[in-house]
A = this chain, B = another copy of it.
Amino acid sequence: MDKHPYKTLSSRIVWSCPWYSVRQDEIVTPDGKQGVYNTVTKQNAVWIVPVTEAGEIVLIHNYRYTVDSWCWEVPAGGIKPGQTALETAVAELREEIGGTAVHMQLINQFYLSNGFCDEVGTIFLAAGVKLNQPTEHEPTEVMTIHTFPAATALHMARTGEITDAPSALALFMCEPFLDIKAS
């Protein structure tokens, strides 16, 4: 199986803004035909599942302009140039929910939407979280902070109440590490 079955003939940025760009590549598909592939190129990001000392999970209720909807999410954010994923996770935990963690565990990485976008997400489990710092929200961030038993947060993911795919995925990926008490 060919590891790289497409050939790239040329590549140029056809649109960009401070948050992402569109890269247009001239390609040759495996059947030898020439075509165009447009990729949204974007900063990578982290999603953090914050688990308190009592084993509860902190979620944010977040307004999302793109879908005009309030979404339950775990803290998340883009990795700034020069920052590591871990540094971003530590910073976003503090900025979004005022949290500090005893330990930050790397859980996994995933592609958010590999059909059109190159973004990679990294999932962390933040253990022993205390909500003891001031939050620092950006002007575009409209959110409130809520704490749930781990079983409740997982139930919200399972039933689709958590509509944000990366947040639901992060909770499922962290499930084996959580103390799920039957309610």
Known: A110-B163, A173-B160. A140 touches B67 (CB 8 A): no
Closest residue of B by beta carbon distance from A6:
B65
- A contact face: mostly helix, strand, loop, or mixed: mixed
**Which of B30, B115, B140, B142 touches A66 (beta carbons < 8 Å)?**
B115
A111 to B168, CA, bound (A): 10
B-contacting 9-mer, from A34-42, A50-58, A84-92, A126-134: A34-42
| A114 touching B66, Cβ below 8 Å | yes
**Which of B67, B112, B142 touches A118 (beta carbons < 8 Å)?**
B67
Contacts of A15 in B (CB 8 A): 14-15, 22
| A35 touching B111, Cβ below 8 Å | no
Number of identical monomers bound together in the oligomeric complex: 2
Contacts of A63 in B (CB 8 A): 5-6
Contacts of A110 in B (CB 8 A): 160, 163-165, 168
User: Does A116 touch B at the CB level, under 8 Å?
Assistant: yes
User: Does A101 touch B at the CB level, under 8 Å?
Assistant: no
Closest residue of B by beta carbon distance from A71:
B114
Closest residue of B by beta carbon distance from A157:
B172
Quick one: CB contact mask for A151-183 with B, threshold 8 Å, 1 for yes?
000000111100111101100110010000000
| B116 touching A165, Cβ below 8 Å | no
Return 25 A-B CB contacts under 8 Å, by A number.
A1-B70, A1-B144, A2-B142, A4-B68, A5-B142, A20-B38, A29-B140, A30-B142, A33-B139, A35-B140, A42-B116, A64-B114, A64-B115, A66-B117, A71-B111, A110-B163, A110-B164, A112-B112, A112-B113, A113-B117, A113-B119, A114-B164, A158-B176, A165-B165, A168-B172
Query: Given contacts A19-B116, A165-B165, could you give 4 more A-B pairs where the C-beta distance is less than 8 Å?
Result: A1-B144, A108-B160, A112-B165, A114-B163
